[in-house]
Protein backbone atom coordinates (compact mmCIF):
# COMPACT_ATOMS: atom_id res chain seq x y z
CA UNK A 1 0.00 0.00 0.00
CA UNK A 2 1.44 3.41 -0.92
CA UNK A 3 2.52 5.56 1.99
CA UNK A 4 4.06 8.91 2.80
CA UNK A 5 7.68 8.68 3.92
CA UNK A 6 9.77 11.22 5.81
CA UNK A 7 13.47 11.63 6.48
CA UNK A 8 15.22 11.89 8.79
CA UNK A 9 13.21 10.29 11.58
CA UNK A 10 15.09 12.40 14.13
CA UNK A 11 17.08 15.59 13.60
CA UNK A 12 19.11 17.30 16.29
CA UNK A 13 20.40 20.79 15.57
CA UNK A 14 21.85 23.81 17.29
CA UNK A 15 19.78 26.97 17.69
CA UNK A 16 20.26 29.27 14.72
CA UNK A 17 21.11 26.48 12.28
CA UNK A 18 19.13 25.70 9.15
CA UNK A 19 17.34 22.37 8.79
CA UNK A 20 15.59 20.72 5.87
CA UNK A 21 12.95 18.11 6.53
CA UNK A 22 12.14 15.83 3.63
CA UNK A 23 8.99 14.08 2.59
CA UNK A 24 8.05 11.79 -0.27
CA UNK A 25 4.27 12.03 -0.74
CA UNK A 26 2.15 9.29 -2.27
CA UNK A 27 3.07 9.24 -5.94
CA UNK A 28 -0.19 10.31 -7.61
CA UNK A 29 -1.13 12.90 -4.99
CA UNK A 30 -1.11 16.58 -5.90
CA UNK A 31 -1.79 18.32 -2.57
CA UNK A 32 0.82 18.46 0.14
CA UNK A 33 0.81 19.64 3.73
CA UNK A 34 3.06 20.17 6.72
CA UNK A 35 1.81 19.95 10.30
CA UNK A 36 3.68 20.06 13.57
CA UNK A 37 3.05 18.71 17.04
CA UNK A 38 4.86 20.15 20.02
CA UNK A 39 5.28 17.52 22.75
CA UNK A 40 2.05 17.11 24.70
CA UNK A 41 0.07 19.45 22.44
CA UNK A 42 -2.30 19.04 19.53
CA UNK A 43 -1.28 18.73 15.92
CA UNK A 44 -1.22 22.15 14.22
CA UNK A 45 -1.47 23.05 10.55
CA UNK A 46 1.53 24.84 9.07
CA UNK A 47 1.09 25.04 5.31
CA UNK A 48 -0.61 23.53 2.28
CA UNK A 49 0.97 23.38 -1.18
CA UNK A 50 -0.46 22.76 -4.63
CA UNK A 51 0.73 23.36 -8.17
CA UNK A 52 4.12 24.54 -6.95
CA UNK A 53 2.82 27.25 -4.71
CA UNK A 54 1.53 27.74 -1.19
CA UNK A 55 -2.27 27.47 -0.99
CA UNK A 56 -2.60 28.45 2.64
CA UNK A 57 -0.34 28.99 5.63
CA UNK A 58 -0.91 29.47 9.33
CA UNK A 59 0.39 32.27 11.51
CA UNK A 60 3.07 29.86 12.71
CA UNK A 61 4.51 29.68 9.19
CA UNK A 62 6.51 32.89 9.27
CA UNK A 63 9.48 34.03 7.18
CA UNK A 64 11.85 31.49 8.70
CA UNK A 65 9.85 28.67 7.10
CA UNK A 66 9.74 27.75 3.44
CA UNK A 67 8.51 24.80 1.41
CA UNK A 68 9.62 23.47 -1.92
CA UNK A 69 8.99 20.65 -4.32
CA UNK A 70 12.48 20.45 -5.83
CA UNK A 71 11.69 17.50 -8.09
CA UNK A 72 8.80 15.22 -8.98
CA UNK A 73 8.90 13.24 -5.78
CA UNK A 74 10.21 15.22 -2.81
CA UNK A 75 8.47 17.89 -0.74
CA UNK A 76 10.64 19.76 1.73
CA UNK A 77 10.21 22.05 4.72
CA UNK A 78 13.13 24.37 5.45
CA UNK A 79 13.55 26.21 8.73
CA UNK A 80 16.17 28.90 8.15
CA UNK A 81 17.28 29.78 11.66
CA UNK A 82 15.95 27.33 14.20
CA UNK A 83 14.73 28.39 17.62
CA UNK A 84 14.28 26.33 20.75
CA UNK A 85 10.50 26.53 20.32
CA UNK A 86 10.74 24.87 16.90
CA UNK A 87 11.40 21.57 18.69
CA UNK A 88 8.46 19.36 17.69
CA UNK A 89 7.33 16.45 15.56
CA UNK A 90 6.81 17.58 11.98
CA UNK A 91 4.34 15.60 9.90
CA UNK A 92 4.02 15.69 6.14
CA UNK A 93 0.70 14.72 4.56
CA UNK A 94 -0.60 14.36 1.04
CA UNK A 95 -4.00 13.99 -0.60
CA UNK A 96 -5.26 13.19 -4.06
CA UNK A 97 -7.66 16.11 -4.13
CA UNK A 98 -7.91 19.49 -2.46
CA UNK A 99 -11.53 19.32 -1.38
CA UNK A 100 -12.62 19.21 2.24
CA UNK A 101 -13.76 15.58 1.91
CA UNK A 102 -10.43 14.33 0.59
CA UNK A 103 -8.48 12.17 3.00
CA UNK A 104 -5.00 13.29 3.98
CA UNK A 105 -2.40 10.58 4.50
CA UNK A 106 0.26 11.31 7.07
CA UNK A 107 3.89 10.30 7.17
CA UNK A 108 5.58 8.91 10.30
CA UNK A 109 7.03 12.31 11.21
CA UNK A 110 10.43 13.85 11.86
CA UNK A 111 11.29 14.65 15.43
CA UNK A 112 13.21 17.93 15.47
CA UNK A 113 15.21 18.76 18.57
CA UNK A 114 16.75 22.24 18.79
CA UNK A 115 19.46 22.63 21.43
CA UNK B 1 -13.08 30.43 16.54
CA UNK B 2 -13.11 26.94 15.00
CA UNK B 3 -12.24 24.42 17.69
CA UNK B 4 -12.36 20.71 18.40
CA UNK B 5 -12.59 19.49 21.99
CA UNK B 6 -12.28 15.92 23.23
CA UNK B 7 -12.98 14.02 26.40
CA UNK B 8 -11.75 12.31 28.40
CA UNK B 9 -8.11 13.40 28.18
CA UNK B 10 -7.00 9.91 29.08
CA UNK B 11 -8.60 6.57 29.74
CA UNK B 12 -7.42 3.23 31.12
CA UNK B 13 -9.43 0.11 30.39
CA UNK B 14 -8.91 -3.63 30.68
CA UNK B 15 -8.35 -5.74 27.62
CA UNK B 16 -11.63 -6.99 26.20
CA UNK B 17 -13.69 -4.10 27.55
CA UNK B 18 -15.49 -1.47 25.48
CA UNK B 19 -15.04 2.28 25.66
CA UNK B 20 -16.46 5.46 24.15
CA UNK B 21 -14.56 8.63 23.38
CA UNK B 22 -16.26 11.99 22.89
CA UNK B 23 -15.70 14.93 20.55
CA UNK B 24 -17.36 18.34 20.33
CA UNK B 25 -16.63 20.77 17.54
CA UNK B 26 -17.44 24.38 16.72
CA UNK B 27 -16.37 24.44 13.07
CA UNK B 28 -18.55 26.15 10.53
CA UNK B 29 -19.39 25.48 7.80
CA UNK B 30 -19.14 21.78 8.56
CA UNK B 31 -18.18 19.26 5.87
CA UNK B 32 -16.91 16.14 7.61
CA UNK B 33 -15.40 14.75 10.79
CA UNK B 34 -12.52 12.32 11.02
CA UNK B 35 -11.18 10.06 13.72
CA UNK B 36 -7.48 9.28 13.63
CA UNK B 37 -5.41 6.83 15.67
CA UNK B 38 -1.91 7.99 16.58
CA UNK B 39 0.58 5.58 18.08
CA UNK B 40 3.29 7.16 20.21
CA UNK B 41 5.93 8.80 18.03
CA UNK B 42 4.06 8.03 14.80
CA UNK B 43 1.86 9.89 12.35
CA UNK B 44 -1.94 9.88 12.58
CA UNK B 45 -3.74 7.10 10.73
CA UNK B 46 -7.31 7.59 9.58
CA UNK B 47 -10.02 5.39 11.11
CA UNK B 48 -13.17 6.97 9.68
CA UNK B 49 -14.38 10.01 7.76
CA UNK B 50 -18.04 11.00 8.31
CA UNK B 51 -19.93 13.60 6.30
CA UNK B 52 -22.81 15.57 7.78
CA UNK B 53 -25.37 13.14 6.32
CA UNK B 54 -23.88 10.10 8.08
CA UNK B 55 -24.97 9.21 11.61
CA UNK B 56 -22.94 6.04 12.15
CA UNK B 57 -19.94 4.50 10.48
CA UNK B 58 -18.05 1.36 11.41
CA UNK B 59 -14.52 0.19 10.71
CA UNK B 60 -14.00 -3.21 12.31
CA UNK B 61 -14.19 -2.80 16.08
CA UNK B 62 -14.42 0.99 15.74
CA UNK B 63 -17.82 2.66 15.41
CA UNK B 64 -18.14 6.41 15.04
CA UNK B 65 -21.33 8.39 15.48
CA UNK B 66 -22.09 11.93 14.42
CA UNK B 67 -24.80 14.35 15.48
CA UNK B 68 -24.43 17.38 13.23
CA UNK B 69 -27.21 19.22 15.07
CA UNK B 70 -25.46 19.13 18.46
CA UNK B 71 -22.00 19.11 16.83
CA UNK B 72 -20.94 16.01 18.70
CA UNK B 73 -19.24 12.79 17.69
CA UNK B 74 -18.23 9.67 19.52
CA UNK B 75 -15.87 6.80 18.81
CA UNK B 76 -16.80 3.46 20.33
CA UNK B 77 -14.18 0.74 20.57
CA UNK B 78 -15.49 -2.79 21.09
CA UNK B 79 -13.60 -5.69 22.68
CA UNK B 80 -10.44 -3.66 23.18
CA UNK B 81 -7.02 -5.13 22.46
CA UNK B 82 -3.60 -4.18 23.79
CA UNK B 83 -2.77 -2.79 20.35
CA UNK B 84 -5.58 -0.26 20.72
CA UNK B 85 -3.38 1.66 23.17
CA UNK B 86 -2.82 4.99 21.38
CA UNK B 87 -4.07 8.55 21.14
CA UNK B 88 -7.40 8.94 19.34
CA UNK B 89 -7.83 12.29 17.69
CA UNK B 90 -10.97 13.95 16.39
CA UNK B 91 -10.29 16.15 13.36
CA UNK B 92 -12.49 18.55 11.38
CA UNK B 93 -11.55 20.47 8.22
CA UNK B 94 -11.58 24.21 8.75
CA UNK B 95 -14.66 25.99 7.43
CA UNK B 96 -14.59 27.37 3.93
CA UNK B 97 -12.79 26.17 0.83
CA UNK B 98 -9.59 25.16 2.60
CA UNK B 99 -8.58 21.59 3.40
CA UNK B 100 -6.67 22.71 6.49
CA UNK B 101 -7.43 20.30 9.33
CA UNK B 102 -8.31 21.33 12.89
CA UNK B 103 -7.14 18.71 15.39
CA UNK B 104 -8.50 17.97 18.83
CA UNK B 105 -6.15 17.35 21.73
CA UNK B 106 -6.85 13.64 21.59
CA UNK B 107 -7.80 10.99 24.12
CA UNK B 108 -4.90 8.86 25.30
CA UNK B 109 -6.17 5.31 25.66
CA UNK B 110 -4.26 2.66 27.60
CA UNK B 111 -5.48 -0.92 27.37
CA UNK B 112 -4.14 -3.09 30.15
CA UNK B 113 -4.00 -6.89 30.28
Average pLDDT, chain B: 93
Question: Residue A99: helix, strand or coil by DSSP?
Answer: coil
Average pLDDT, chain A: 93
How many angstroms away from the CA of B105 is the closest CA of chain A?
5
Question: Residue B28: helix, strand or coil by DSSP?
Answer: coil
Contacts of A41 in chain B (CB under 8 A): 105
Q: What is the DSSP string of B58-85?
A: EETTEEEEEETTTTEEEEEE-S--GGG-
Sign of the torsion angle spanned by Cα atoms B84, A108, A47, B99: negative
Going by pLDDT thresholds of 50, 70 and 90, the confidence category of residue A97 is confident
Query: Is B32 in contact with A100 (Cβ distance < 8 A)?
Result: yes
* DSSP classification of residue A71: S
Picking from B41, B46, B97, the nearest residue to A103 by CB comes out as B46
- Strand (E) or helix (H) holding B49: strand B45-51
pLDDT at A98: 77
Interface of B with A in 28-67 (CB under 8 A): 31-32, 34, 36, 41-46, 49, 51
Going by pLDDT thresholds of 50, 70 and 90, the confidence category of residue B95 is low
Higher-scoring residue by pLDDT: B97, A59: A59
pLDDT at A36: 96
Question: How far, in Å, CA of A29 to CA of A112, rounded?
Answer: 25
Burial of A51 (0-12, 13-18, 19+ CB in 10 A): exposed
Picking from B31, B43, B89, the nearest residue to A108 by CB comes out as B43
Model pLDDT for residues A99-109, shown as the tens digit of each residue: 777 889 999 99
Amino acid sequence: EPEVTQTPSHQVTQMGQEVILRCVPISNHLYFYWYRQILGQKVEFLVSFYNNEISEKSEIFDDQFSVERPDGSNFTLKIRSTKLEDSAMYFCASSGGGGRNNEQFFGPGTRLTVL
Amino acid sequence: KNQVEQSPQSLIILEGKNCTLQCNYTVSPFSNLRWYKQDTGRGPVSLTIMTFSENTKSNGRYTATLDADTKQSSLHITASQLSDSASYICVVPNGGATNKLIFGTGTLLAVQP
